[in-house]
Amino acid sequence: MSLLGWLEKLQEQCVPPEQESSESADDVGYVLTRMRADVARLNRVAQRFSKIGSDPDRKPQQVEPVVEEVVAYFRERLPLQGRGVRITLDTEPAPPAAINPELVAWVLENLIKNAMESVDAKSGTIAVHCGPSSRGGVQITVTDNGRGIPGKQQQKIFHPGFTTKKRGWGLGLTLARRIVMEYHGGDLYLDDSVPNQATRFIVELPA
């Protein structure tokens, strides 16, 4: 709330009315708009953690808009992560699923972030697909051409505390799987991983 207050003050003092709707990244109005969106996102992230451990609200809705919003968020920040990384998105009409959009978005963010840390900064590709599942629900896949996961480690990646990174607690995939399986009755699994070729995670959400 404090950050939002300071942003409003900057808006009043620094942005002429004619620039408030500007779409140029060089204008202060544009920067403030993006900052306000990021602060709002931080608020949603805080709310997500309050939902873990309780029974979150789930309502039948289309999953595609949630996936599109997450991919758009990462695309806007690719220059900060690596100028050669590409994220593609392919969606197909799928049946509605009873989901909590904030938690499903967190799962997808975790998978994409892991993929971005795995791929090469100059030639990395991340492909996200959302469509109907053969099980009758919705399937989301995240595929990257990064360094992959060695065969001996593939059975451990969802274990609490397991991580191949120098920093981190190794809880991201553990929580993501719990959100999908326990809170949504779905499944999250590693479909395949070939080093430097393709690593694919799949999320299954029941209709």
CA atoms of 167 and 68, how far apart (whole Å): 29
The pair of structure tokens assigned to 135 is 């099980």
> What's the maximum distance between 2 C-alpha atoms anywhere in the chain?
59
Write down the residue that tokens 């274990």 correspond to: 159
CA atoms of 130 and 107, how far apart (whole Å): 14
Domains along the chain?
Answer: 2-51 (no CATH), 59-205 (3.30.565.10)
Q: Say which amino acid occupies 145.
A: N
Tell me: pLDDT of 184 over 50: yes
Banded pLDDT at 169 (limits 50, 70, 90): very low
pLDDT the model gives residue 131: 97
CB 188 within 8 A of CB 201: yes
Cα–Cα separations (whole angstroms), residue 100 to 7, 22, 133: 29, 33, 19
> Containing H/E element for 188?
strand 187-194
CB 19 within 8 A of CB 27: yes
CB 103 within 8 A of CB 66: no
Tell me: pLDDT of 171 over 70: no
Tell me: pLDDT of 8 over 90: no
**pTM score, whole prediction:** 0.75
- List the Cα angle 146/151/156 in 5-degree steps: 95
CB 145 within 8 A of CB 125: yes
- What digits encode the pLDDT tens for the residues 128-148? 999 999 989 999 999 999 999
CB 57 within 8 A of CB 100: yes
* Least confident residue range of 5-14, 45-54, 142-151: 45-54
Which residue spans within 18-147 are E strands per DSSP?
59-61, 86-91, 97-99, 125-132, 138-144
Contacts with 92 (C-beta within 8 Å, 6 or more apart), sequence order = 129, 130, 131, 132
pLDDT the model gives residue 190: 95
pLDDT the model gives residue 130: 98
Tell me: pLDDT of 25 over 60: no
